[in-house]
Amino acid sequence: MRRLIGLFLLVIASHIHAQTDTTLPGNEVEITGDRKGVISGKGIQKSEILTETEFKKAACCTLSESFETTNTLEVSNADGVSGIRQIEMLGLAGKYVHMSQLNMPAVRGLSILTGLNHIPGPMVSAVHLSKGTGSVTEGFEGLTGGINYALKQEPTEPRLFLNAYLNNQWRGEVNLITKQRINHRTFSHSYIHYGGQWKTMDFGSDGFTDMPLSNRIFLGNQISRYNDKNEWVLGFTYVNNERRGGDLHHFMHKQPVNNVFHFNMKEKKTDVWGKFGVFLNKEATRSIGQILHLKHEQTHSLLNKLRNRHYEGEQFSLFYSAIYATPNKKPISTRSGVSVMIDNVNETLSDSGALLFNPARKEQNFGSFSEWVFKSGESSIVLGIRSDYNNLFGWLITPRIHAKWEIDEKGKMMHFQSGRGVRTPWVLAENLPLFISNRIIDVKDYSDGGAYGQRREDAINTGVSLTLPFRMFGYPAKFITDAFHTRFLHLIGTDRDQRPDLILIGKIDQSRYNAIQTDLHLQPHRRIEMRMSYRFIENLLWLGGSMRQQPLLSKHRFVGIISLKNRKKWFMDAIVQWNSPKRLPETSSLPEKNQMPTWSPAYSIVNLQIRKDIGKKWEWYVGGENLLNVVQRNPVLSAENPNQPWFDAAYAWGPLNGIFAYTGFRLKIK
């Protein structure tokens, strides 16, 4: 802790970049009115913006559970024990998404699977979603897209915000944000969150907890200053999260039962950052900005008590970036800068008392980048390139291009992007749910040096998008369609189809990734909004000796939303999701009674919520989720005998906790 305090003092002495928008130059978006979610094509890179209004439609609870209203991300259970929620974009796992807070790398490394679980949704002001590789100013990672979020920190935020939530399955949370005005240009925002699951459930009747018992504490503070010549932000967050699951017998006795399966994960994470931007002219079009972000994270996991399988990890990361930007009102403008990223990582994975893996590394990356923006009439092009030197992998050149063509003055437009993305695989941390099993873990070419003995993952992502606005019943409507192709030059993946008692981690020889999505936004009446979205994924990998669909991923997915409101400030939101069958990992070599089906059934999820504004301060809401009571009965393979070598908790394809109701309130004091 003293080391972290010292690092915080270092941040205060640093000058930090003040920009908060993740979009490419020229893509500034102003959100007005009721701040509803929008898909913006105003800039050179199309982005989807989820605002506070969108988060209210999915009242609970963490950021990982706040994407029910979009088809851009698919969120699902990682397994039938841990309660970890994993995301996918364009058919690729969340590890390929660049997840950041105010342009700072926020969710990566040890927290790549659980990081979005650490962020309370009600404390987030907005989330920017972008598909494909982003700006080179953000780094060389992010092969398939980006998620950038910001905590509520604007001077216009209320002096006090209080939110409480409780459902009938004994899950609840409380969120508190307070704002203090230090002077007319400086503001302080403090954040306190507590959430937990306080009772075990077993809707699948397999003897295992469907959702683990959990306790989560989130604390933070941000101090922001705004003036005509410079802006700066200093802040920190601290997260302490614990979850416990497994055999119900372990939780039915006052003393722990040692001869049954159970799971335990404890996480602690501290982030400290500072941002400072200086405007070099009166118009604030020429600026210098800097960012310094420090993170310390620890994870302790008992993955399988029966096998005494443990995982421990510690990560210390430093990120620094400096950017110089020239005016964007001229035909040509630029952004250039340098960045430093350092990861100091120690991990251990043990099984049956024996040490399996003990990778430790200090990875240092030093980069420089430059981006040129060309504007000519209705067309805009951004050319970006960065050069990085990594102490483990050597030199890397990352080119990227984004283009926009405004077809007419009515808003018809086309976007195109293509670029390279590279990432270091975190072989152990990103596969933890698969280790909640008795499977043998085999990492191909593993060595103590480098990064798990693996090369970096390398891919080229290319996409095109078409936006067609029109009017229906006198109100604006919009049709959007986009298509993306990802070509991996080097892919590290997991193969559970070779044998049901083996996890093979290493290079995947062949792969094919294509994604198509169409969205239709309608407003048939001024108090009625409708959105429909269809997404198709082709995700084929060389698994088990043949090309197969990636397991536990729906090939087709539909999301429909209807929102109603009246003059008396009653709001109703209905969300329908339909998911096509998902392929399950191969089990045909097992005894027939232990085999899983080859494919899951298709299923639908229906959520409904009603909200009421009471005066100017109070808001009350009540709702229900999974109203069709869809429940997967067998998310754990060999749950009846967890001593079998093929015991595996990672066969979750659908909802585990059935229908539930919730209620809560929000209080805002200006």
Nearest to 300 by CA among 352, 349, 259, 344: 349
At 111 the three-state DSSP class reads helix
Is residue 596 a contact partner of residue 650, using CB atoms and an 8 Å limit? no
Provide CB contacts within 8 A for 5, sequence distance 6+.
Answer: none
Nearest to 454 by CA among 361, 543, 356, 389: 361
3-class SS letters over 395-423? EEEEEEEEEEEECCCCCCEEEEEEEEEEE
Q: Is the pLDDT of residue 590 over 70?
A: yes
Query: What integer pLDDT is reported at residue 61 of this predicted model?
Result: 84
Question: Within its chain, how far is the Cα of 428 from the centroid?
Answer: 19
Query: What share of the chain has pLDDT > 70, as a percent?
Result: 91
Q: What average pLDDT does the chain have?
A: 89
Q: Band of the pLDDT at 254, cuts 50, 70, 90?
A: low
**Distance (Å) of CA 569 to CA 208, 572, 611:** 43, 10, 8
Query: What integer pLDDT is reported at residue 16 of this predicted model?
Result: 32
- Tens-digit pLDDT profile for residues 143-185: 999 999 999 999 999 999 999 999 999 999 999 999 999 998 9
Q: Which amino acid would we find at residue 470? A: F
Question: Within its chain, how far is the Cα of 191 from the centroid?
Answer: 20
Question: Within its chain, how far is the Cα of 219 from the centroid?
Answer: 20
- Residues 93, 96, 101: CA angle, nearest 5 degrees: 110
Q: Alpha-carbon distance 43 to 27, whole Å?
A: 3
Q: Alpha-carbon distance 595 to 637, whole Å?
A: 8
Query: What share of the chain has pLDDT > 90, as a percent?
Result: 75
Residue 346, token pair as written in the block:
């120690």
Average pLDDT over residues 481-492: 96
Residue 422, token pair as written in the block:
């590279």
pTM of the model: 0.90
Q: Band of the pLDDT at 257, cuts 50, 70, 90?
A: low
Query: What integer pLDDT is reported at residue 586 of this predicted model?
Result: 95
Nearest to 135 by CA among 327, 339, 407, 375: 339
Output DSSP code: residue 426. -
Is residue 378 a contact partner of residue 365, using CB atoms and an 8 Å limit? no
Q: Which amino acid would we find at residue 661? A: A
Query: What integer pLDDT is reported at residue 409 of this predicted model?
Result: 83
Helical (H) or strand (E) element with 54: helix 52-56
- Tens-digit pLDDT profile for residues 288-321: 999 999 999 999 999 999 999 999 999 999 999 9
Residue 295, token pair as written in the block:
């993170």
Is residue 204 a contact partner of residue 631, using CB atoms and an 8 Å limit? yes
User: Could you state, in order of their start, the residue ranges of all structural domains in the chain?
Assistant: 2-669
Average pLDDT over residues 66-86: 91
Q: Alpha-carbon distance 296 to 270, whole Å?
A: 5
Q: Is the pLDDT of residue 13 over 60?
A: no
Higher per-residue pLDDT: 359 or 485: 485
Q: Is the pLDDT of residue 207 over 70?
A: yes
Please list the residues that pair with 143 across neighbouring strands: none
Residue 164, token pair as written in the block:
């409480």
Is 2.40.170.20 the CATH classification of the domain at 2-669? Answer: yes
**Distance (Å) of CA 487 to CA 139, 144, 388, 512, 540:** 19, 11, 21, 7, 12
Sign of the dihedral through C-alpha 361, 366, 372, 373: positive
What strands lie across the sheet with 97-101, from one edge to the other? 38-40, 47-51, 124-131, 145-151, 97-101, 104-107
Instruction: Tell me the pairing of strands 97-101 and 145-151.
Output: parallel
- Tens-digit pLDDT profile for residues 374-398: 988 888 999 999 999 999 999 999 9
3-class SS letters over 292-361? EEEEEEEEEEEEECCCCEEEEEEEEEEEEEEEEECCCCCCEEEEEEEEEEEEEEEEEEEECCEEEECCEE
